[in-house]
Amino acid sequence: MEKFVRNFILMSVVYLIIAALIGLGMLTRPEYRGGLQFVHSHLMLLGWVSMMIYGVGYHILPRFAGKLLKSRAAGEVQFWTANIGLVGMLGFYMLNYHDRKGIYEGLSIFFGVVEVFSIGLFFYNLLVSVYGKTEG
């Protein structure tokens, strides 16, 4: 298994643990729900679920198609952009939620765009790998 694939799976579990702890905190302290619901849901969906899908998808789908992954380098870049995008988006969202400063909102949006770029990179890399012409 490729190192970046293992990294996706590891980070998936890390985000699951963090999201579970935040969820528990929201249950025990309802006053935290307002600012943390967005963070909790994005850690669960973009952190746990998506990172696991990325890792498993990169490992299994090209093999099911009988092909090699088109670009391991793109997979590595996607790993970093997915994680930086998620952490940046949520970190600056929390700063913006508490302080309501325009720069934090802008940075949260910027990192959200980084996250969308990451998703597009995954989409492209897998489609080209599974449906592209086989070389040789």
How confident is the model at residue 24, as a pLDDT? 95
The amino acid at 50: S
Write down the pLDDT at residue 136: 42
Q: Is 70 in a helix, a strand, or coil?
A: coil
- Please report, for residues 12, 64, 65, 66, 103, the alpha-carbon distance to residue 50 in angstroms, rounded to integers and kept in the order given: 8, 20, 21, 24, 28
- The model's pTM: 0.91
Please report how many Cα atoms fall inside a 13 Å half-sphere around the Cα of residue 6, on the Cβ side. Answer: 3
Please write the tens of the pLDDT for every residue from 61-102: 999 999 999 999 999 999 999 999 999 999 999 888 777 778
pLDDT in tens, 55-64: 999 999 999 9
Contact present, 93 and 36 (Cβ < 8 Å): no
Confidence bin at 22 (pLDDT 50/70/90): very high
Look over the chain and give the mean of its residue pLDDT values, rounded to a whole number. 93
pLDDT of amino acid 109: 94
Q: What is the pLDDT of residue 135?
A: 57
